Amino acid sequence: MKELAKPYISDHFAPVTDEITAHELTVRGSLPPELNGRYFRNGHNPKPGVTPSHWFRGEGMLHGVRLAGGRAEWYRNRWVRTPYLDGVPFTGTELDVSAAATNIIFHGGRYLALQEANLPWEVTGELETVGVHDFGGKLTSAMTAHPKEDPVTGELHFFSYSPFPPYLTHLVADATGEIVRSQVVDGAGPSLMHDFAITREHAVFINSPVVFDHAEHSGIPYRWHDDVPFRIAVMPRTGPAKAAWFEIDDQAAILHVTNSYVDQHGRVVLEGPRFDRAAWETSWKWWVGAPGYGSSFDAGSTLHRWILDPATGKATDEALDDLTTEFPTINDAHTASANRYSYAIAFPGAGLSGYHTAKFDTTTGERQLFSHGEGRLPGEAVFVPAAGGTREDDGYLLTIVSDLRADASQLLVLDAADLTGAPVATVELPRRVPAGIHGHWIEDHK
């Protein structure tokens, strides 16, 4: 029997085979004039003839669209030219041998392509590779693909985690990109930790039941263990400081965080999509291409809230919505402070047919959905503020959509305040862009 193609290199995720550049892209509708900058997105794109052992082993490829003055000036895609792209295997010891395929950020004047088991790789504003970046020799361990930039101070908070001690280290770079603080987080264990959060006062870390297990042979050496508790740590952002760990009664895992903040009662609130064991293991099967992952790309996680009270040491949690969602985003101006709105990809199921972009109002519990139609998969929704906006949701959502039926892709600009209408603008891209992972909007003045 012919073996089926792995899901992470099939359909929406089928890789492209070359690098192209196209200028003066077709725009339907009107691009808001304040959109002057670059939308960059990262993702795994194995080279022709290469089938990686799991999704996260695919070589990193960046896709970018430059918008200015109501025009879509260019699209380009480039592999991140690391030793891994040249065929050097990742052993876990060579920090520069990175797929560099998970995220791309801009901080301290540098564009950095990130993957959590490695050092960052710097690229240019035209997506050409510059080289490995170790913060002037101050970063000697891996860097998370989900750093958090404080919108008030400009600091970049990030972490390094490992299956071996020290399991977790919190690092801070100032607004210029200089590492100014590094601290081992006491009490952490060998959990798989993809993301974390900050509040105005704290760093918030997650230890889930998904922990290092040398018996796991899928290529990702972590496995769910029911005897390992789900714990969340709250640690003052200024060091040295001790972390307070909250054990959660509910066994769960978190892959991506929506946001965290301190409420009016002094409690730390953490929100994000929650996986139970069944949802996690189904997703895991998709990531590694094992039987039983289902017929389409899905997550199984649902929006949840955890409330941690430092005064009492108690933790409570509650479901916020029953839609299957992942890849949460917010208006980044509200990172570390209270937010009302969040956005995510909503997957088929729970009454939905096809993929949607979802908006959640955690004050009222209401939601809005934008349907992308059959055969169309959106990426995460990146929020860009509108000029002169005064409300949290005054802005736009940018997302690249993969259209299997048309073998094409578009960059959609949606009205973040009202997802019930048509797109504000649609940029026709010169090729189908494979579904990817994370990206950012980077304004020109940066």
pLDDT at 1 exceeding the cut of 50: no
The percentage of residues in the chain with a pLDDT greater than 90, rounded to a whole number, is 91
pLDDT at 2 exceeding the cut of 50: no
133 is in an annotated binding site: no
pLDDT at 294 exceeding the cut of 80: no
The model's pLDDT over 93-106, given as tens digits with 9 standing for 90+, comes to 789 999 999 999 99
With a CB cutoff of 8 Å and minimum separation 6, the contacts of 218 are 53, 54, 284, 288, 290
| Average pLDDT taken over every residue of the chain | 95
The model's pLDDT over 226-240, given as tens digits with 9 standing for 90+, comes to 999 999 999 999 878
Whether a cis peptide bond, with omega within 30° of 0, leads into 166 is: yes
pLDDT value of position 349: 79
pLDDT value of position 442: 97
> Where residue 218 falls among pLDDT bands split at 50, 70, 90?
confident
23 is in an annotated binding site: no
More confident residue, 300 or 157: 157
146 is in an annotated binding site: yes
> What's the pTM?
0.96
The arithmetic mean of pLDDT across residues 232-250, rounded, is 93
**Domain parsing of the chain, residue ranges:** 146-371
The model's pLDDT over 316-346, given as tens digits with 9 standing for 90+, comes to 999 999 999 999 999 999 999 999 999 999 9
pLDDT value of position 263: 98
The model's pLDDT over 388-421, given as tens digits with 9 standing for 90+, comes to 999 999 999 999 999 999 999 999 999 999 999 9
The arithmetic mean of pLDDT across residues 82-94, rounded, is 88
> Where residue 119 falls among pLDDT bands split at 50, 70, 90?
very high
107 is in an annotated binding site: no
pLDDT value of position 446: 56
CATH 2.120.10 fits domain 146-371: yes
pLDDT at 298 exceeding the cut of 90: no
pLDDT at 92 exceeding the cut of 90: no
pLDDT value of position 81: 98
Classify each residue of 8-32 as buried b or exposed e, where b means 16 or more C-beta atoms within 10 Å of its C-beta: bbebbbbbeeeeeebeebebeeebb
pLDDT at 17 exceeding the cut of 60: yes
> Where residue 291 falls among pLDDT bands split at 50, 70, 90?
confident
